[in-house]
Amino acid sequence: MRRMLIAAGLIAALAACGKQDKGTATQTAPADPAALLNPAAPALHAQAPATYRAKFETTAGDFTVEVTRAWAPLGADRLYNLIKNGFYDGDRFFRVVPGFVVQFGINGTPAVSAAWKDANILDDPVTQHNTTGTIVFATAGPNTRTTQLFINYADNLRLDQMGFAPMGRVVEGMDVVQKIYPGYGQSPNQDLIQSQGNAYLAQGFPQLDYIKRATIQ
């Protein structure tokens, strides 16, 4: 199911810009994707610390987010467990809308992606504003958060009343987040990413930036 943030008519078209080819089909998945095939596994349901930092090493550079569990407890726990178990390693930034958001979080291994497609968590109350640099789970409607995330490129306060609950913010490397390759805009098809994984993205969208590794600090 395609996870959108607001009506497509509110999003501006993007212009492509030149950049070196990122594509390598070998850097597409966590070292042990089998560990992610069972979303119900206890190892994927630990309670996160009250505050934690996560470092994202990417092809655009590194950035760090600080998550405050009290802001959105269910979202903070889900993010903590996914990062600890390597879910985002190799994942592409597949939707980049300058001045709005950058979105990621569909696993590059189709079997893993399928396992998590309907692993929904309930919504958290919105306690923080969708300001520049906040990290938030994307959604396809009420109580449908799974693995997809976005980082706000601007103060998108209209998202507050739509139920998008920030759980943390970028505290280091926002300049890196701002330069993630935007040339494909929203062209990558989410259904095809789900079914074909990074092979689809490497073939059709080779300049996408991606996460080399994400770790809890």
Verdict on whether the full-model pTM lies above 0.85: yes
Is 12 part of any domain?
A: no
Is 36 part of any domain?
A: no
Is 34 part of any domain?
A: no
**Above 60 in pLDDT, residue 5?**
no
What are 51-88's pLDDT values in tens digits? 999 999 999 999 999 999 999 999 999 999 999 999 99
The total domain count for the chain is 1
Is 194 part of any domain?
A: yes
Averaged over 91-106, what is the pLDDT?
Answer: 98
What residues contact residue 115 under an 8 Å CB cut-off, 6+ apart? 36, 37, 38, 39
Is 22 part of any domain?
A: no
Provide the domain limits for residue 123: 50-216
Is 162 part of any domain?
A: yes
Is 26 part of any domain?
A: no
Other C-beta atoms lying within 10 Å of the C-beta of residue 139: 22
Query: CA 64 to CA 211: how far, in whole Å?
Result: 12
Which of 146, 175, 23 lies closest to 88 in space, CA to CA? 146
Is 15 part of any domain?
A: no
The DSSP code sequence of the chain is: ----SS-GGGSPP-----------TTSSS-S-GGGGS-TTSGGG-PPPPSEEEEEEEETTEEEEEEEEGGG-HHHHHHHHHHHHTTTTTT-BEEEEETTTEEEE---SSHHHHHHHTT--BPPPP--S---TTEEEE--SSTT-B-S-EEEESS--GGGGGGT----EEEEE-HHHHHTS--TTTT-S-HHHHHHHTHHHHHHH-TT--BEEEEEE-
**Above 90 in pLDDT, residue 126?**
yes
Identify the CATH number of the domain in which residue 114 sits.
Answer: 2.40.100.10
**Above 50 in pLDDT, residue 151?**
yes
| Predicted local confidence at residue 18, as pLDDT | 31
The confidence band for 32, taking pLDDT boundaries of 50, 70 and 90, is: low
